[in-house]
Structure 1
């Protein structure tokens, strides 16, 4: 394989895929209890969720350009084509760090073949893009074929998600303090999605039981050809509801496959425990 796929830990990809598809991962940093941890390396997401339930407010930081430079250089030295897929630049400065590192590498390796792609996605929305690109790379596909597939996924990736407590979104500036307070009183569950890389409120659902049902309905409205799609569900330490959502999807949409995995520490530090997210491809116009 002469094409090396590189990602950051905002993909929330299952760890097995990194080895299986030879994907290199650059971790974000999570700050918790006055300590620094590398996401997906030396902290488990459940540790973050348990701390948040106890009142902790973890913070995150993007990888430095130097972190990306080190990884890019390793593969530039081998003459490999490098494709980095990045967490949405609207949600993190991680993609910017990678872009700076690319420019530095090209100063020393003018002939290096390096692509940096802003997926405009997060969690397994981002992860699915990188996963399918890595599968093609592993099979020996051309760089152009990999980029074409990736750009199609970037243009059509849907995120539908809900959070258990609006307070976590309020901390991150996604909803106002008043909205969080009123929403908690009324037991309102927000549904959100992603537009051009930004988190955007979609609907408000009263009652947790109705949320999963509505997520399936939205998938029906927005997606197609589910029997040819691999869907993804990520969750903030809520395997039970993730499995309930998967069961509804299998019964009604018969997808090719469903990947279920916990949301990582970096994304989870902002979304909070109890988050449920669904990712699929939208209809082709």
Structure 2
């Protein structure tokens, strides 16, 4: 069985890894009159953001593939190239990507026979849309596990059960660089989770929250003095889970809202990477997607892994 994998462009993984293993559903970002489809091109992303003011970026509009665009992509290509496709999306609590793909799946499963027959394929086609229940580097955990299972020759039913199990256990963390930006962005989206008072106090005192996402729910776990301290605590948490042997999959994913050299210089980064190497855990790191950066701000850090251990201790 030919198994295909689909992710949206908010999934933070290295571009070459995405190109080798996935079909991508791009998310289009509009800042003022400027428009760019998020194709995970790092240079294009930075140039696009450099040309805009922070105030305009905070008011950016994001547009995922429509139901019709998802349907067209599958019927034009994917139903011919594959027999079963897993489409793994950003959590539906933060984006309409999942709902659009889910709605498109009904028409795809009704209409796939014509394109497959024209290509000389008589076997059935199947599709499963999976909500990763996470964001950014958190989406990468399910995606990497799907590649690992497919390459190991696992069948679709076992892949589906395992991916859904991993989604439930994925913990994604973020340390925002600029609380004022994050507050302005969340308010533009209609989200009041970052209040004016907390943003003002956090900025004045250089207090950085450690934010957490699991099962589609996001919220703060702890607060630290300074971005470097918060990042070091996060790297330390991940290293501790690795040493304890409490990861559900041998994967840690990280993304940064800028050049990766800046992330590499953060305290605790090298210890985490060395710990992962010593324990056979793969590290995937990438610059944040354009979609992520306009939503959480440049210079922010995200990290994720799957574990049934407590989110933070």
Shift of 1:190: 1.2
Q: 1:65, 1:175 → 2: CA distance?
A: 31
Alpha-carbon distance change, 188 to 103 in structure 1, aligned in 2, over 3 angstroms: same
Superposition pairs of residues 78-227 of structure 1, within 5 angstroms: 78=81, 80-109=83-112, 112-170=125-183, 171-172=185-186, 173=191, 174-219=193-238, 224-225=244-245
* The one of 229, 233, 256 aligned to 2:254: 233
Q: Compared with structure 1, are the counterparts of its residues 105 and 132 closer, same or farther at alpha carbon in structure 2 (3 Å cutoff)?
A: same
What RMSD in Å do the two structures reach over aligned CA positions?
Answer: 2.5
| 2:39 alignment counterpart | 40
Q: Residue deviations 1:1-58, cap 9 Å, x none?
A: 611111111112211113322x111101111231221102677332354356654322
Distance 1:70 1:197, change over 3 A: same
Rg larger in structure = 2
The residue number in structure 2 matching 1:246 is 269
What is the number of equivalent residue pairs in this alignment? 284
**CA distance in 2: counterparts of 1:37 and 1:161, whole angstroms:** 25
Deviation at 1:79, TM superposition (A): 5.8
Against the structure 1 CA distance between its residues 78 and 15, is the aligned structure 2 distance closer, same or farther, given a 3 Å change threshold?
closer
Q: Secondary structure at the match of 1:250?
A: helix
Q: TM-score, normalised by structure 2?
A: 0.81
Instruction: Report the Cα distance in structure 1 between the residues aligned to 2:275 and 2:174, rounded to whole angstroms.
Output: 19
Change (3 A) 1:47 1:199: farther
The reply on whether 1:25 has 2:38 as its aligned counterpart is no
Distance 2:211 2:36 in 1: 28
For 1:241 and 1:229, how far apart are their aligned partners in 2? 25
Looking at structure 2, the residues matched to 107 and 270 of structure 1 have their Cα atoms a distance apart, in angstroms, of 36
